[in-house]
Amino acid sequence: MPLERADAARRAIRRLDESEANRIAAGEVVERPASVAKELVENALDAGARAILVEAEGGGIDRLVVADDGDGIPREELALAVERHATSKLVRAQDGGLDLLDIATLGFRGEALPSIGAVARLAIASEARGAGAAFRIAVEAGRAEPVAPAARAQGPGTRVEVADLFFATPARLKFLKSPRAEAMALADAVRRLAMAHPRTAFRLVMDGRRLLDLPAVEAEGEAEALAARLAAVLGRTFSENAVPLNAARAIAPFGEARLRGLAGLPTAARGAPTHQFLFVNGRPVRDKLLQGAVRGAYADFLARDRHPEVALFLDLDPRFVDVNVHPAKTEVRFRDAGIIRGLIVSGLRHALAEAGHRASTTVAGAALGRFRAEGATPAGLPGLGLGDPRLGYARPLAPVTSEPGFAAAGLDEHAGDAAFDGAPPAGAEAHASAAEEAPPLGFARAQLHETYILAEAADGLVLVDQHAAHERLVYERMKRALAASGIARQVLLIPEIVELEEGAARALLARAGELEELGLLVEPFGSGALVVREVPAMLGPLDVQGLVRDLADEVVDLDAALSLKERLQEVAGNMACRSSVRAGRVLKIDEMNALLREMEATPHSGQCNHGRPTYVKLARADIEKLFGRR
């Protein structure tokens, strides 16, 4: 049934007045306190702030303040700043037109301040550089007051205060989550911006508690600065369990696109994609294309429901990317998405290959934690930190100093004795390995439960899941063979005929070419059946029927977001699983040692095809601590 209008007569078209238009625009730009904070912090960054203070009360719904020491707004522009479609950030080209594709600032639409003013109580006090005096303007539910002198006179900068968000649009207020949930989202938004702008000091105070206190990083190189800020924001656990990444690709005629950051080890993956931080030219984004590329890069290592932790910074000529496709500017569009996807996938894969057989230290930490008496601090194990020279990050990290000071910039919060709870977790120092000659995974000493290999290394004890490890090795071997010359195939003496559902058979045969590359030769055999003539030689004897049925299932519900190649690699992973050493098989010491040596020599061997660790290494020093010997 069609919705009935109050009165049936058609109404004439009427132009919305400014405050109505602003309220509608606000619906897109100002979704919740976190989006207000994001817009205001972006404005501060665009104004060249060296220090930014964010204060929030009641999840940012009751009150939100963003203060900066940037260029400020001149008195005569204050009224314009809160008007819709008024911005200082778009520069007219010589022909008088606007170049919307050459945007170097975070803002450009002139919508944030009027939108906020339309739905809340907004007050802006600002001192423009060189003005020597401050002025203020207030807007309530869309009505602006005249500009007036302000008390603030502590040097250039701007202080924006937003109170009673959505008081003017009670319907929207109902869509907010609890103040606690809004506070978390707000902190997340500030943290993301802070990650991408290491040269600016950030302080976040919520309900009087200082949640974030990040000094401006003074390291010389951009990569170093980024690394220092990431470590400060994300903590040691993340940086210890991630590999640095630095890759570039030509995007002619726009120079090159560069990808920097940290790629979390697959064994440190999480159940939700909450720890994926993606940035394009300093702008935090949640872009499907970028997320898909990350998925694709890890498809080889992770089960479908596991999500890697990554912090990726993509920097490229603004003309190659359109940021004007989403109201909150969190999605972007690239001129050539394929190049960018390729850069991300290959950059991540390369970085992960560099990790060799490393599994994450969190695995050992968790294992030790189980043993440890309550109350003891969890120990870290040696890991590849941010200081790793592979990224060109300096070692040790350049010192950070808190300059410019918040007090000096007139950005003191009223928090007073707020507790500082953003301190890095107290971790154990890295333990140097005792003997250089002994292999990292040590020598096999015993097989336990016919499933685990116990090995003794110079600096600790290693426990290997023989099935998981072997499966990964077979898989890596297959990939190498595939890359080199295509997988060697073995002709079946008697071809196997496999009966399938009509559709499944067709779907599988449609991919016969790619299957052949993987060493499996299938041909049609009447309707609903196919014949397998050759199989990958490296798999040895195998259950052809079962394999083809599995493949058919997988091809039928192929995830459209992943490319076929990635999925077939996953299928190859399953092939590897079928042919690998089962748990429950007795191994000789020589066989066990061979497995250990191959793991050391094989990239990605620290995790199985589903992202679970293939081994745990307990450092000798930690074991000693466990027994109170240290």
DSSP state for residue 403 in the 8-state scheme: -
Among 81, 122, 233, 386, binds ligand ADP (CB under 6 A): 81
Q: Does 605 bind Mg ion (CB under 5 A)?
A: no
- Could you tell me the two tokens for 249? 């690709």
**Cα–Cα distance between 110 and 42 in angstroms, integer?**
12
For the window 143-182, what string marks contact with ligand ADP as x by the rule CB under 6 A? Answer: ---------------x------------------------
Q: Which residues inside 442-501 make contact with ligand ADP, applying CB under 6 A?
A: none
Q: Number of C-alpha atoms within 13 angstroms, CB side, residue 225?
A: 17
Written as one letter, the residue type at 521 is L
Nearer to Mg ion, 112 or 351 (CB): 112
* Separation CA 419–CA 417 (nearest Å): 6
CB of 21 to ligand ADP, least distance (A): 14
Site string for ligand ADP, 25-54 (x = CB under 6 A): --------------x---xx--x-------
Give the Cα separation of 342 and 257 in Å (integer). 11
Stretch that binds Mg ion, among 15-23, 42-50, 276-284, 606-614 (CB under 5 A): 42-50
Residue 218: count other Cβ atoms within 10 Å of its Cβ. 15
Cα gap 624→630, rounded to integer Å? 6
Report how far residue 47's alpha carbon sits from residue 70's, in angstroms, rounded to the nearest whole number.
5
- Residue 81's binding partner among ligand ADP, Mg ion, none (Cβ under 5 to 8 angstroms by kind) is ligand ADP
Which residue has the CB atom at the shortest distance from ligand ADP? Answer: 107
Pairing of strands 276-280, 310-315: parallel
Question: Min. distance of Cβ 77 from ligand ADP in angstroms?
Answer: 7
Selected binder of ligand ADP within 33, 58, 72, 156 (CB under 6 A): 72
**Smallest separation, CB 107 to Mg ion (Å):** 3
Amino acid at 239: S
Instruction: Out of 58, 59, 70, 107, point to the residue binding Mg ion (CB under 5 A).
Output: 107
Q: Where are the alpha helices (DSSP H) in 105-174?
A: 112-119, 170-173
**89-108 positions binding ligand ADP, by CB under 6 A:** 89, 107-108
Tell me: does residue 113 bind ligand ADP (CB under 6 A): yes
Rounded to the nearest whole angstrom, what is the least distance from the CB of residue 70 to ligand ADP in the complex? 5
Q: Is 112 in the site for Mg ion (CB under 5 A)?
A: yes
161 binds, among Mg ion, ligand ADP, none (CB under 5 to 8 A by kind): none
523-582 residues near Mg ion, rule: CB under 5 A: none
Is cis: bond before 215, omega within 30 of 0? Answer: no
* Pairing mode, strands 283-285 and 201-206: unpaired
Q: How far is the CB of 89 from ligand ADP (least distance, A)?
A: 5
Q: Is 576 in the site for ligand ADP (CB under 6 A)?
A: no
Nearest position to Mg ion, beta carbon: 107
Q: Which amino acid would we find at residue 125?
A: A
Partners of residue 465 on adjacent β-strands: 452
Please check whether residue 81 is in contact with residue 113, taking contact to mean a CB–CB distance below 8 angstroms.
yes
Q: For the chain, how long is the longest CA-to-CA vector?
A: 93
- List % helix, strand, coil for the chain (3-state, nearest 5): 35, 20, 40
Q: Which stretch binds Mg ion (CB under 5 A): 109-117, 222-230, 363-371, 385-393?
A: 109-117
Neighbours of 14 (CB within 10 A): 7
Q: Which is nearer to ligand ADP, 110 or 244 (CB)?
A: 110
Question: Which residues of this protein are in contact with Mg ion, per CB under 5 A?
Answer: 43, 107, 112
Tell me which residues touch ligand ADP (CB under 6 A). 39, 43-44, 47, 68, 70-73, 81, 87-89, 107-113, 158
